[in-house]
Structures are given as C-alpha cells and as structure tokens.
Structure 1
Amino acid sequence: MGHLAFAGARLFDGERILDDHHLVTENGRIVGIAKGKPPSGSAVHWLDGGILSPGFIDVQVNGGGGILLNDDPSAEGMARIAAAHRPFGTTALLPTLITDTREKVLAVLDAARGARIAGVAGIHLEGPHLDPARKGAHLAEFMRPLGDDDIALYLGAAKTLGALVVTLAANQVSAEAVHQLADGGVIVSIGHSDCTADQAEALFDAGARGVTHLYNAMSGLSHRDPGLVGAALTRPDVWGGIIADGHHVDPRALEIAFAAKRGPGRLFIVTDAMALVASDKDSFTLNGRTVRSDHSGHCPKLTLEDGTLAGSDIDMAASLRFLVERVGLSLEDALRRATADPADFLRMGHVRGRLVAGARADLVHMSDRIDIRAVWLAEEL
C-alpha cells in the first residue's frame, strides 16, 4: 500500500504514551514516529482519539473460537484460534498444546513447520514433561520425563518456528538437557513443578528463560522454602507469564509480584485462554472431562467438575482492564506487559511489541478504557 500514516490518537510506543504524534508505516512495516500532524498530501488513517498501540502478544493460548489446539492440531485450527483472539487486540500468539500424547506433539509441530499463519508467532508446548504433583487440569497419565528423542525433536522444530516455548518441570529434566535446548534456540520455561528454589536456580543457570503462569501449578513462596515462585521473583534475568483474571491469582498477589520482580526479566500477561473465548458456548470437553464457565463473578471462571481451575475464559483486553482497574497498574505499565515485554521474552522485540522503525505494523486502536476499536496486521497494510 506504500506510505500510510496513523494520526488522531495518542501513541503507545511499547514503553510510554506519546501525545501529539503520528505513526508512519510503509508496506506493513513501521517507518517511525513523528511529532505533530502528518504532512499535507500524505495518505492518512485518521483515528478519533483513544490510543494506538502495538498489537498484543499472548504467549499461552490453548484455544478460542470454540476449539482447543489439542482437538484440532492443524494449521487451520491455529488460524481459527488466532482469528478468535484478534478482535480483542491480540495480533500475535503462541497456540499452546497442553499435556497430551507424543502423536499430538508431532502433529502440532508438523502443522506449524513452514506454515505462515496470520497472527501465529510460534508454538508453546505446555507438557508432557510436567510434574504429576502439580498437574492442575492436565492429565498425569500423559506426563513423562524429557528424553533424547524429545530433545532432538524440539531442537529441530526450533529452527523452523518463529518461537518454540517448552514448559518443563524440574523433576522431568536435567540441567544438561535444559542447557542443550536453550543453546539450540528453544525457549525453556519452568512450570507445573514442585521444585525447591535451589532446583529452580540450577535450571535458570542452565538456560531456562522463564516460568509458566507464575503462582499457578508450582511450589509456592514461604519464609523458609521460597520454592519456584520465590526463585522466579528474585532472579533478575528470569521472565514470567502471569494470568490476570482474579481467579488464578488474587489481585494482592499480583501487586506483590509486580512490585517484587526486578529486571531485566519481567512479568508479562498471558491469558491461558481455552476454547470459549469468542464463542457462545458455556462448556467444552478437555481430555474427555467437561469444563464449564461460571459467569457469576467479575469475569468468567473455568473449572472441572471437581472445582479445579482449567485455564481461563478471558481475553487480553479484559486482562489489561483488570490490571488497571483492579490491581492499580498504570496504563503504560499494563500495556507494556502485553506488548514489549512478551516480545522481549520471545526474543522478537526488534520486530514485534514496539512502534519502532523496521518492526511489523501490527496495531491495535483502543479507547482510554481499553475497549478495542480496530486491529490491523502488517499483512493488511
């Protein structure tokens, strides 16, 4: 389309909100930000107030649009999930396969290998190398230690995917294996693990980059045994996804985590969304078990019949509103945790999550209350 300017809204560039600036794009890439109005004669998309931001990036999305990745591990299934989350501002996500058979893992990696799927930036394998003691809604019968064939599979896949995140439990993997994976481009995240803080530190030293949904399905923080939570919060270089729906983590615990976490590793938002986002259904099946959505609270809550939390029924825009309205984060801080921070965790900060020259023009226009007005992918500009 050539040069196209976006003007008439405040700009969030990934770090701060700018007044009286406009954004210039060319053929789906960002040229830069300039002060004032675009020059006369320029092609301009005029926005009626609000905020123009980089598109949101969700590192952990199990489903949407009525399906789970586990039930449709195909390129078409991934495209449907990405399309379901796009109206809520998510322009890049990692379809996430929860613990399942090796055949399902192979199917997902084969489907993603070499495919160009709009809105899909990689794959997240949340299992099967998890700790049955911290299984959450996952099936323990599919959990197993990481083997040499798994390492070879993941190293090969990492060469062909935009990003490959693999969640591992400390008791299912050695430090040597973590080092091998990390050195080969796999992003290792520790989760669903009942490990001690020392065990976690050993894996961080070996190259593990982050933790999966901080607080949930992991050893908690106590004054004599800080566990995986304590290790993640005090280790400066460790990143962490966190679910902001008020069910998985109490707002006060969210405040504690955000206050405690020192950089450069930061906490970013993940939805851990299941099939019901952008769907009119109120239940679905997970490995043969019924999961229902309870709409009686401030936001929907997904549980198995025994009350176990089973992912979330929340989108990124609603998560951001929760952080601002219920947790008290500034709008800039909250937006950064859905844009620049997850991009940096995925080592994509130069092309996603910021309004900088050369980055993809994946954009979201929202009101000051984070109601989504429009979403653009770079391929559309």
Structure 2
Amino acid sequence: MEEMNCCVQNIDLLRNHLRIVYCVAQFCVIVIIFIANPNNYESRALDSCYAQSSLHAACLLLGLFLIVLIGFRFLEVADSFYMIREITRAAVGIVTSFALFGLIYGISPWINDQDEGDLQIDVAVLQQVTISVVVVLMPGLYARWATLKSAKDTNKKLLQPKLLRILAHRESLALFRRHLLKEWSVENLVFYEDATKLQIRLPSLPPSKGLNRLHELYEKFISKDATIEINLSAGKAEAMHKFWRQPHVKKALAVAQRSRYRPAAASRSNNDFVTAVQMADKFQHVAKSDKDGLNSEVFQRLSAIVEEGMDITLAAKTEIFQLLENDSYKRFITKSSTQIHFKENKELLLGENSIRDRKARRHSLRKSVESKDKSSRHTSQG
C-alpha cells in the first residue's frame, strides 16, 4: 500500500505527459504528411498524393490510438474513451478534407494565372493547412461542446448523496476506498479517517496521549519525511511544520513521551471509522481522565498545546475533505457501479425515509390543529 501511495503526487503529471504526447503526435502527423510526401512537390497527379497522404495519416493515427489507449488503460482512468472519440473524429475529419480537396482540384484548372506545377503545390499546401485545422482544432472544440452538453444532462440524472453520508455507511465507504485506490489517492481518505477518530476521542484522552497522537498523525501524513504524504496545500503544510518546530512544543512533546503513554495500534478498518463517527456524541461526553500524573501547571500547558495542534490539524482535515468532495467524489459518482449501489441504498444514503417521515409528521400535525380548531368553534357556538 505504501509503495503505491508513494506515486500519488506523480499521477497527474503522468496523465499530463500522455496528453502532451498526444498533442505532439498530432503535430507530427501534420508535419509528416506535409514534408515526407514527395508527391506534394512534384508535377504528378494529385490522386496519388491523396492516397499516400491518407495512408500516412491512417498509420500514424492508428499508432497514436494504440499508444494513448494502452497508456490510459494502464492508469485505469476514463480519459482513454475521450481520446478514442477525439482520434476517431480526427480521422473522419481527414477523410472529409480529402473529399473537399477533390472538389477543389476539380475546379482549379479554370484558374489561368498559374501553371500546372504551381497549382499542384498550392493545392497540396492548402490541403495540409486544412488538415492541421481539422486534426488539432475541430475535435477539441467539438469534444468540449459535447462534454459541456452531456455534463448538464448527466448531473440531472445522477444520484448524488452527500459525501458525509458515504463516509458513515460501511458498504459505500468500502466502494469509495476502492475507487481511491485505483486513482492512487487513498491516502487523503486515510488521513481524514485518522483525523476524525482523533477529533472524536481527544476529549477522553489525557493531554500527553493527545499530543502524542497528534504528532503521530503529523509524522505519518504531513512531515517532510512522511510515509504517506497527503495532497495538502503549501500554506496548511507550512503551518503544521511551524507548529511542531516551536521550542515549547518540542519540550512539551518530550514531556508527553516520557509520561504514561503507549502507541495506539494502527487500524484501517472501515467498521472502526464508521463506528467512531456514529458514536461521536458518546465520545464528546466522556470525561477526561485524571491529570496523567502531571502537576497542574504542566497539565494546563500541555492542554493548551494540544488544543492549538488540534485546531491546525482540523484545518488540514477540512481542506482534505474539500479536496475529496470536489475532486475524487465527483468522478466517483459518475461510475455506473456507484450509481447502481446508490439505487440499492437510496433510502439510506439520500435520506428519503426521513424526508417522508417529516412530511408525514407535518401532515398529521396540521390535521390535528385543524381538528382542534373545528372542535373549539363547535364548542363556542354551542
């Protein structure tokens, strides 16, 4: 797991590299058709020029298609299907351009100011310019329009429960975790889980143990030597580094580590996290233990440091939650398997039972009020 998470920061860079390779290959298609075909610059029939250019374009687009398909399927993302559509539209555009140039060549002999050789070169140059426009611009513009149009229709049809409901539902959380594993960004969810557990249980922990738990969280996910580094912004990460570099925090941590403390056993269980969330109210009312064998002054100092460290950690947790909600979760809900799962658990995830119950209670309350009003009017009339 940790070896996979080491590559999390490079996944977007790899995807961008593949997109750059695709764009460069598109440019190479144009250059090779324009330069490597000698028929473009010789006094020969342009029919052979069309045929050979078509062959070059078809071979290069086929090779490009295979490279992009293998690359994106290796990364297990849906971008490969977008590339398939784009390359297909480019190929159709090239075929269409050749048909148009057949018409151009058919009417071009009526131009009397140029001889046949110059005319062939001009038509060939115009051919390549049009191909460049068709290959590079048209597929992207059409794909952008189609994406925007389909996004509006798709968003209306998709079931979109809140992310908090997903995290509080065992089966949904497991499904979301598998999705993040494929995206190589599961460390964000792991950090959110650990931070949530600590937030809930911190009121019941002595300050020394709470400070040690906060430091463990920092060392594992945020420090410069973190084993599983999360995608935290530079500002939030620097605030964490600055907090733990403070001299009084270092001294307090040394005191806490000398106190009665045993490292908590690591747990990656979905049930453990869901149970912690569901029992949040219970943990909030658990009283803190005694002063952990520390004098009152040290106890108060540790408590203040723990509170400050927890505030900084919660700010990082909020940012990670927003990243999950606005990025990974948006892609997660578009998967067909996810929508099937949502439909199977629709009432639980979307809260439709509670909505119906509230409507029923309001309806019964309105009926009871109306009946009381009627009875009071009858009584007054009597």
Q: Give TM-score scaled by structure 1 length.
A: 0.24
The structure carrying a bigger strand percent of its residues is 1
The structure carrying a bigger helix percent of its residues is 2
Q: Highest Rg: 1 or 2?
A: 2
Q: Give TM-score scaled by structure 2 length.
A: 0.24
